[in-house]
A = this chain, B = another copy of it.
Amino acid sequence: MNADRAAAASKPIKTAISREDGIDFSIIELLFFAYRDFTSDPDQILAEYDFGRAHHRILHFVNRRPGLTVAELLDVLKITKQSLARVLKQLIDTGHIVQVQGPRDRRQRELYPTAKGRALALALARPQSRRIHDALQGAGSSDRAVVERFLKAMVNPELRAQIDNLPGNVPGKVDGD
């Protein structure tokens, strides 16, 4: 059969993969489906502006931390300067974001949303927030805390500090308490 040359002639496995190797497929799949639908809400709005997810993310963090510098934004998003440039330029050209020369260090460009940028950020967040709210319907406030703890624990430890630096995310505190 010459199964040694190309692996092409390998036999089909007909049994489904399951929990055999202690792999947590349920949550792996749920995260995939949940995130896909979670991002589909704003995607529809963005399409009207000829924007993509990258625009959304930038707009979001500039609204969450007005005055952050380009370097800080790159650090939060974990993308390269070149990837950011094009998208940020569009947001500036369309008047959603403005740049202000840094007061201490004049090389820096502080990024601020405009009223237009603030409005779009809110419009994009609204359906996502509603989806989360609906998903937590009937769940107690302790359930909300469980979900928050879980998601935060999924983040790489080095990056958890970043999350705490965002407004309203006091480390120990849980919304609704």
Contact = CB atoms under 8 A, between A and B. Distances in A.
Interface of A: 6-8, 10-19, 21-38, 40, 57, 60, 63-67, 78, 93-96, 98, 100, 112-118, 121-122, 125-126, 128-129, 131-137, 139, 143, 146-156, 159, 162-163, 166-169, 175
A19 to B, nearest CB: 6
A30 B135 contact: no
The oligomer's copy count stands at 2
Nearest to A118: B13
A13 B114 contact: yes
Given A12-B114, A115-B13, A26 B155 contact: no
B31 A35 contact: yes
B28 A132 contact: yes
**Majority secondary structure of chain A interface residues (helix, strand, loop or mixed):** helix
Given A131-B154, A159-B37, A12 B125 contact: no
Nearest to A135: B153
Contacts of A66: 12-16
16 contacts: A7-B94, A11-B98, A12-B66, A13-B66, A17-B118, A18-B167, A23-B125, A24-B132, A26-B175, A30-B148, A31-B151, A37-B154, A37-B156, A135-B153, A139-B150, A147-B150
